[in-house]
Each structure stands twice: as C-alpha cells, then as structure tokens.
Amino acid sequence: MSSTSFAAGDTHDRASGLVPMLIIGLLFFIFGFVTWLNGPLITFVKLAFSLDDVNAFLVPMVFYCSYFFLALPSSAVLKRTGMKKGMALGLFVMAIGAVLFGQFVSMRVYGGALAGLFVIGAGLALLQTASNPYISILGPIDSAAQRIAFMGICNKVAGALAPFVFGWLVLSGIDTFDQQVKAAPTPEAREALLNTFAAKVHMPYLAMAGLLVLLAVWVLRSPLPEIKPSGANSEAEIGHAKGNLLSFPHLWLGVLCLFLYVGVEVMAGDAIGTYGQGLGLPLDATKHFTSFTLFAMLLGYLAGLVLIPKIISQQSYLAVSAVLGVAFTVGAWATTGYTSVGFVAALGFANAMMWPAIFPLAIKGLGRWTEAGSALLIMAIVGGALVPQAFVHLKQHYDFQLVFMLLMVPCYLYILFYGLRGHRVGQHAP
C-alpha cells in the first residue's frame, strides 16, 4: 500500500484495509499503556516524594494539561508533516519524555519528573490529534464508533496490563516498604530507602524510551496511507453551508462533552486507588484497582462492537451509557468497602463507548476544518486534569463519596444531553 496522499472518501476500500487498522491499533496500545500508568504513578510518587494527595494528583494534572496546550500546535505540525510522519514524531517526543521522567525520578526531583510527564503528554497530544480523526474517517463516519471501539480494546488491554507490570517492577511489597520508611531510625536512613525506591523506575522508563524510538522508525517505514480529511468528511453530509469553526455548534458542544467525559474516565480509572484508600483499604490492594476499571471498559468495548451500528446507533448508545454512569455513581455513594469500589470500577463499562461515540459525532461534516476540530477535541482531554483536581481539593473538606457523586452525576447528565440532542444542533439534512 502506497504512502501517497489520497482522499479517503474516494478510496474507502483501500484505506480500510487490515494493515492501517493494525498499525493504528498498535498506537492505541501505546496510548493505553502510557496513559494508564498514571493511576499507579500517583501511589508511587506519593511515597517516593512524601507527598499529600493534592500534590500527588499533579501527575494527571500535568499529563492532561499537555493536551490542552499542545493540541492546536500539533494540528499545525500535522498540516506540515502529514499524519504518518506526525505519528512517528509523536512517538519520538514521548521517548524523550520517558528518559526525562526516569532520570528526574531517580534523582528525586519532582518538578523535573512532572516536566518529563508533560513531554510524554506532548508526544501523545500529537499522536492523538492524528490517530483519532484518522480512524474516524478511515471508513464511513456513522460506523466510526465501531472502529474506535476496536482501538479502545487495544488501548484498554494495554491499560489493564500497565498497573500490573508497574506493580511488579516497582510497587511490589509497597505496604511493607511504607512501614520500613515510617520506622526508619534517622532522616538519613529514611532518605536512603526512598532513594532506592525511586531509582526502581529508571531502567523501565529507559527501556520504554528505546521501544518508542523503534516504533517511531517502524511507523515511518510502514505502509500506512495518508488520508485527507476534507475528502472523507464533507460538510455536505450535514447540509452545512461553508463557514468557519464557529459555525459548527455540534463541535463546540462536543468539546465540552469530551472534556466532561475524560474527567469522569480519569476519576473512575486513576482516582479509584485514592477512593479505595479513603475507604480504608490496604495499599497492596488499591494499587491494582485501575485494572478493574479497565477490565470493565474492555467489556464495554466488546458490547459496543457487537451492538453498534447494527442494533443501536452510536448516539443512542452514548445516551444509554450516560444513564448507566449515573446509576453506578449513585451505587458507589450508597455503599461502602469493596462494593463501593466495585461500582466505581463498573463505571469503566459505562464509559467505554463514550469516546468512540463522542469524537465522530463531534467532527462529523467538518470538512477542511476536521484537523482543527480534532485538535479542539484533543484539548478537551484537559478535563482529565481538572475534574480529579477538584475531587482531591473538595474531599479535604467534605465526605469524599459525596464529592465523588456530586462531581460525576452532572457530567453524565450533560453527556446524556449530547447523545440525545446536542450532537444534532446546527445540522440539516443534505
């Protein structure tokens, strides 16, 4: 398959081949593994740097803020490089970030470690800005949720593995180690223990960097075709008279929807460990809770693959998912212990098909504005930074389960609105 540019709308059969799907699937696997390390990383930095919850949650804050600041620059880069070279560049930038993170953590310089995470997020912003619209328009836009669901399976398989791999390499025996640190006879002895613990991430992140560089070279040399969004996602599909980005209200409503969605996804995935600790559950158990959420998401993706679009439309499935989100959130609030954690993990099932549904609905009919619209949607990933930060600040003053519910339910209600009505605002039958 040639890497020559073509309009996907003219060559759907060629573009929807197995090879591009597998290549993008591998990239989504990488997204998942790196992104869902944030959950166990919160536990890790809290101990390694002796942090409270607010400062430990700077991990997802910095990581997801990088999307906000760098998505639009990423769009500009992609216009110059094309999607294929842009994806390879994103992997290389991630490799640089992994080296920085591993080095600064081993030196126990928290600011430097956060800078490394920001660079990793910058690489991911470039990858996401390219790959999400790419897979959305690789075939018919109305079945994009099904294709993104397949990508989601790749993403969440990696995400489910990440906490176990990180736990095995870095967090094994963390309860015992925590007790040793607390029982250290002198400040010097305590610092020596923490230095040894922090250094455990150095080699894994160097290995990750090497792998990312190899992947960048492989993608660059792969038969991944270029796709021109303007040919595949015409404004005529939604009866739209040509205009600027402000003339697509369904996009802007979708940006807010994606912002809230990523917030609830990170709350259910990354914050579940902190939620479990609030219930008095041991660290050796809570370090794996992120994987439970991701397993539930895998089940949700499988359901989406079966049901969309043959049995239910992607927008209707989005609405159903939002209702489930409200129900599971209330269930978490009304229960305690492992039952409450189980409801939080079940949110993974409710959340699974939200991104696959929201993204194609929001970019539908953007034509030549597809790249810019996609960049705005990627910027909305900053919701993963702000909603958890609101949670850790508010839970210092109010019951954390109540705070969790009061943050999550309004988000799901807006997602319900977008699935029922918001995605159609401003559109007309062609």
Higher pLDDT, 260 or 2: 260
For 202, residues 6+ apart whose C-beta sits below 8 A from its C-beta are 102, 103, 105, 106
Query: 95-109, 169-183, 222-236: which has the minimum mean pLDDT?
Result: 222-236
Residues of the domain holding 319: 6-424
Tens of pLDDT, residue by residue over 335-345, are 999 999 999 99
Instruction: Tell me if 163 is assigned to some domain.
Output: yes
Predicted confidence at residue 238, as pLDDT, reads 57
Work out the average pLDDT over 120-145: 81
Lowest mean pLDDT among 21-25, 204-208, 261-265: 21-25
pLDDT of res. 372: 84
**What CATH number does the domain containing 267 carry?**
1.20.1250.20
Residue 83 lies in a domain: yes
The string of pLDDT tens digits covering residues 75-118 is 889 888 888 899 999 999 999 999 999 999 999 999 999 999 99
Please report the pLDDT score of residue 133 as a whole number.
79
What is the pLDDT at residue 226? 73
Residue 95 lies in a domain: yes
pTM given for the model: 0.81
Question: 3-class secondary structure for the chain?
Answer: CCCCCEEHHHCHHHHCCHHHHHHHHHHHHHHHHHHCCHHHHHHHHHHHCCCCHHHHCHHHHHHHHHHHHHHHHHHHHHHHHHHHHHHHHHHHHHHHHHHHHHHHHHCCCHHHHHHHHHHHHHHHHHHHHHHHHHHHCCCCHHHHHHHHHHHHHHHHHHHHHHHHHHHHHHHCCHHHHHHHHHCCCCHHHHHHHHHHHHHHHHHHHHHHHHHHHHHHHHHHHCCCCCEEHHHHCCHHHHCCCCCCHHHCHHHHHHHHHHHHHHHHHHHHHCCHHHHHHHCCCCHHHHCCHHHHHHHHHHHHHHHHHHHCCCCCCHHHHHHHHHHHHHHHHHHHHHCCHHHHHHHHHHHHHHHCCHHHHHHHHHHCCCHHHHHHHHHHHHHHHHHHHHHHHHHHHHCCCCCHHHHHHHHHHHHHHHHHHHHHCHHHCCCCCC
Assess if residue 11 is contained within a domain: yes
| For residue 125, pLDDT beyond 70 | yes
How do residues 309-344 score in pLDDT, each as one tens digit?
Answer: 789 988 999 999 999 999 999 999 999 999 999 999
32 domain residue, yes or no: yes
Q: Is residue 429 part of a domain?
A: no
How many domains, the chain?
1
pLDDT-based confidence at 167, cuts 50/70/90?
A: confident
The fraction of the chain above a pLDDT of 90, given in percent, is: 52
Please check whether residue 22 lies inside any domain of the structure. yes
Q: Residue 1 domain-assigned?
A: no
